[in-house]
Each structure stands twice: as C-alpha cells, then as structure tokens.
C-alpha cells in the first residue's frame, strides 16, 4: 500500500495543500504551508528504510494517461532519485520556515508557489515516462518564475525572464529530441511509447542521429547544471531570488541538470557521451567551471553572488565525477549533489539572515560579527568549512571520492580539479574573515540580534546532516552503490560496443 502510493501522494499532496492555502487567512498561510511541508517530509521519510539498495526501480506506479500516444503516468524511485526526493522534502519545510519573516507581501501566493514547485521537483526526479518528465521539467519553471519575479530583489524582472528563457531554450530542444527518439523507436518496434525503460532498451544504433539527440539533451541539462558557458543566468537568478528561492534553486533545481545526465543523457546515448571528443569537451568545461567559478567567486563584493558562483564550481565537480565513470567518482558525484544542497542551501539561508538584520549583502558592510552574533558566526563557519570540504564534514567525503575516482580515468583532470578545492578555501575563508572576524568597525553592526529559535530550527537539521555525512556516510553510500554501479554498467558497454 505505502510502496505503491507514496510517490503519487508526494506529488499530489503539495498541490492539494497549495489549493487549501487560499482558504486560510493571509497571515496564517505560513503556518499551514509549514505544516503541509512537514507532512510531505513525514510521508517521504519511510522511503529511507523501505528502500532496498539492490532492488532497482522501486515504489513504482503506472497508469495509462494519454493512451493514443503511449503516454502513461509512470513513476518510480531508485538509488539516484531517492536522495534527491528526500533532499527536496527536507529543504522545502526549511525554506518555508526560513521565509517566515522574509516574505511579508502576498504570503499565500508565495507559499502556494513553493508547494507547486515541490510537486514539479519531485515529479522530475521520479518520472519514468519521458512525456511526464518533460511536463514536470517545464511545470516547475512557472512557480520559480513567479517566486523570483514577485518576491525577488531590485532586478527581479530581468532575472526572472532570463531564468525562464534560458531554461526553456534548452528544454524545447530536448522536447524535439524526445519526440525524435520516440518516433524512431516506434518505427523500429511498432510500439508507440514514451516509457523510460522501453525507450532505453531500444535507444542503441541510432547512428548520427544520436549526436543530435545527445546535443539537445546536453543543452537542456547543461543550462540547468549550469556548466561553464551556460551559467550566466545563475548569478542573476540566485541573487535576485528571495532566500527560499535561492535555497531551492541551488539546493534542488541545479541537481535536475546533473540528474538528467545520470538518468537520460548518458544511459540513452553512451556512445556519444563517451566519445573521446565529447569526453574531452565535457571534462574541460567541468574543469573550467570548477576553477572559473571559484576565481569569480573570490572577487565578488556581494556575499550572495559569491555563494552563487561557488555553485558553478561545485557542480563542475559533479560533472567531472559523472564523466569519470568509476564507482567512487559516481558515488562521489551523487554525494556532492546532496552535500551541495545542504551546504549551499545553508549558506543562502545564512546570507538571508544577515540580510534581514543588516539590509545589505556586501562583504564590506560586515566585520567582527563573531562577537555580536556568536551563534550565527559559528553556523556560518561550520557551513563554510563544509563547503570547502574540511575532513569531518560532508564536503570532504564527496569531493574526495570524486577526486580518487577521477584519478583513475583522467589523472591530469583530477589534478587540476584539486586546485579547485584550494580556490574554494581561498574565497570562503577570505569572505569568512571579512564578515565575522576582522575588527568590529561599523556602528550598525554592534547591536545585531543573534539567531532566533526559528532560525536555529532552520539550521540545525542541515548542520546535523553536514556532520552525519561527514562522519558516517556509510548508510548513504550503501544505498547508492548498486544504483551507481548499475549506471556504470549501463553506460560503459554501450560506449564500448559503439567504439568497436
């Protein structure tokens, strides 16, 4: 019963809750939204125990939807999507809680958008039908567009439309590729179906078309990740979005890109993805992203922008880990996807908290905060260190795994990527120094209030996660290992068969 319905409930509940929000008063909306998000989290939690690592796709449900075109509502969960779903259900209640004082106008609409967004995000991670996947991929654009555009900062309109058009550009090309794949498979087998497993098993031998299809998928996902030359929407969107929006953007939306590579682009077109030229291009772009993101972060005067650029760098690691295609590196990539959600999510929360106190995000506005707001300063230090990858925190485990794994495949690339870790230490420690250490030389900073209980409640779960993964990652690694292995086993033979 639970196994069969859980994903559907996870998809439907936020929509129901969003609709229900219109029945309550404007000022109560946040409490109702928090309750709804917590219920969602509670529903998703048993997945952790009921999930069988070696069980492949689980919790599946399938109902015909548009039968004429072979479209069905088909959802399922494996060792890759499990963590993304749990990360989503964890970050959403925290985002709601973190927005209590930040969002002061049109609250109902804000929380309704956040809940609809939840459905879209979970839908992307559990969809096993390409039509459903595409619909979810696009649907989550609208609430995010509204969140940035209505509740964002000064340049919100520009950031919102840029975000929308960039994402839509990639996904529209992906749409054509999905249709092309569907048609070719159908003309070969006589079965019209958008089912993931069906298309996957017949996606071989496409010849030169595979290049076009891969290119379309690549663009859609690379924009979302974002990989180096496609990243320009990210700083705008992250900086202009309200805190909760940035947290969700960095924590989950970016992972949709890497998830897309893991789920679709590589398994469908292994021969193209592992073609030496493509490999070289993608590994180079990842490295450029790692280094460039870090260097640009270093010179940002705006703390939020700094965090935004650090995402480009972290996601570069993920891409490198995926393409290195060893068990460690893929597991590391999956782990960094989780870690980045936690650490960068927490960083955005903290930047938001600083902004609410000081109404500025400029590094130069702060200094010596450690004495004024010790709790906030401690949290910021821990989270920064985890983002740098200090041993004992989650960041270390993930990046370490990627680097070891990548050494086997691309020794020189792993070597260059290691400098990325050093760059990360430079920009974050430098920022940390300017914000919470140095002299307390600004009168405005002398009477800032420390973290409230509500803010502590937002940060504690994330901090717990940071240390848990840092000290005892085994339960997580155990659950993702078979899925990572399966991913490698799917991709590698396909590529070798094509090279032969």
Contacting positions for another protein (CB under 8 A): 66-69, 106, 134-135, 138-139, 142, 145-146, 149-150, 156-157, 160-161, 164-165, 168-169, 172-173, 175-176, 179-180, 183, 212
| Pick 116 or 262: Cβ nearer another protein | 116
The residue with tokens 């004495």 is 371
State in angstroms the smallest separation of the CB of 115 from another protein: 16
Is 75 in a helix, a strand, or coil? strand
Element (H, E) at 59: strand 58-66
State in angstroms the smallest separation of the CB of 66 from another protein: 5
State in angstroms the smallest separation of the CB of 67 from another protein: 6
Measured CA angle at 186 (ends 184, 188), to 5 deg: 70
| Pick 12 or 165: Cβ nearer another protein | 165
| Pick 181 or 334: Cβ nearer another protein | 181
Taking Cα atoms as reference points, which of 289, 282, 266 lies closest to residue 340? 289
| Pick 176 or 299: Cβ nearer another protein | 176
Q: How far is the CA of 101 from the CAs of 82, 449, 454, 462, in angstroms?
A: 31, 14, 10, 20
CA–CA gap between residue 300 and residue 292 (Å, rounded): 13
| Pick 138 or 302: Cβ nearer another protein | 138
State in angstroms the smallest separation of the CB of 238 from another protein: 18
State in angstroms the smallest separation of the CB of 482 from another protein: 33
How many CB atoms sit inside 10 A of residue 433's CB? 12
| Pick 83 or 133: Cβ nearer another protein | 133
State in angstroms the smallest separation of the CB of 187 from another protein: 8
Taking Cα atoms as reference points, which of 245, 234, 198 lies closest to residue 309? 234
Buried b (16+ CB within 10 A) or exposed e, 261-288: bbbbbbbbbbbbbbbeebbeebbebbbb
State in angstroms the smallest separation of the CB of 135 from another protein: 4
CA–CA gap between residue 269 and residue 266 (Å, rounded): 5
The residue with tokens 């155990």 is 478
| Pick 212 or 400: Cβ nearer another protein | 212
Is the backbone peptide bond immediately before 282 cis, with ω within 30 degrees of 0? no
User: Please, what is the angle between helix 374-388 and helix 394-409, to 10°?
Assistant: 10
């Amino acid at each position: 019963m639970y196994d069969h319905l859980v994903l559907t409930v996870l998809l439907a509940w936020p929509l129901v809750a969003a609709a229900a929000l219109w029945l309550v008063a404007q000022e109560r909306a946040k409490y109702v939204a928090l309750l709804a998000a917590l219920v969602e989290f509670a529903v998703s939690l048993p997945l952790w125990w009921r999930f069988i690592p070696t069980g492949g796709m689980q919790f599946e449900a399938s109902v015909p939807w548009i039968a004429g075109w072979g479209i069905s509502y088909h959802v399922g969960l494996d060792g890759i999507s499990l963590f993304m779903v749990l990360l989503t259900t964890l970050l959403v209640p925290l985002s709601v809680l973190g927005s209590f004082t930040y969002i002061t106008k049109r609250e109902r609409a804000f929380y309704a958008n956040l809940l609809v967004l939840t459905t879209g995000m979970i839908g992307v991670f559990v969809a096993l039908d390409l039509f459903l996947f595409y619909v979810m991929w696009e649907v989550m654009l609208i609430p995010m567009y509204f969140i940035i555009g209505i509740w964002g900062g000064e340049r919100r309109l520009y950031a919102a439309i840029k975000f929308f058009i960039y994402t839509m550009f990639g996904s529209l090309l992906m749409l054509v590729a999905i249709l092309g794949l569907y048609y070719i498979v159908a003309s070969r087998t006589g079965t019209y179906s958008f089912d993931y497993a069906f298309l996957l098993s017949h996606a071989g031998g496409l010849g030169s078309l595979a290049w076009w299809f891969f290119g379309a998928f690549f663009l859609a996902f690379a924009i979302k990740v974002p990989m180096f030359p496609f990243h320009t929407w990210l700083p705008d969107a992250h900086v202009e979005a309200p805190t909760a929006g940035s947290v969700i953007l960095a924590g989950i939306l970016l992972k949709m890109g890497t998830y897309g590579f893991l789920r679709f682009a590589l398994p469908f077109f292994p021969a193209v993805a592992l073609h030496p030229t493509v490999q070289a291009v993608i590994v180079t772009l990842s490295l450029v992203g790692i280094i460039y993101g870090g260097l640009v972060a270093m010179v940002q005067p705006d703390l939020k922008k700094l965090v935004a650029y650090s995402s480009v760098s972290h996601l570069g690691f993920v891409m490198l880990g995926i393409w290195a295609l060893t068990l460690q590196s893929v597991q590391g990539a999956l782990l960094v996807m989780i870690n980045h959600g936690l650490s960068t999510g927490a960083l955005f929360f903290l930047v938001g908290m600083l902004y609410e106190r000081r109404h500025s995000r400029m590094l130069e506005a702060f200094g010596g905060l450690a004495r004024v707001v010790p709790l906030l300063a401690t949290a910021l230090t821990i989270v920064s260190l985890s983002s740098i990858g200090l041993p004992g925190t989650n960041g270390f485990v993930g990046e370490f795994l990627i680097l070891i794994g990548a050494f086997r495949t691309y020794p020189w690339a792993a070597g260059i990527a290691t400098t990325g870790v050093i760059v990360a230490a430079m920009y974050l420690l430098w920022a940390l120094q300017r914000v919470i250490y140095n002299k307390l030389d600004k009168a405005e900073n002398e009477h800032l209030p420390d973290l409230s209980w509500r803010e502590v409640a937002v940060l504690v779960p994330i901090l717990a996660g940071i240390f848990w993964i840092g000290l005892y990652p085994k339960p997580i690694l155990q659950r993702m290992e078979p899925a990572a292995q399966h991913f490698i086993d799917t991709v590698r033979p396909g590529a070798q068969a094509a090279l032969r």
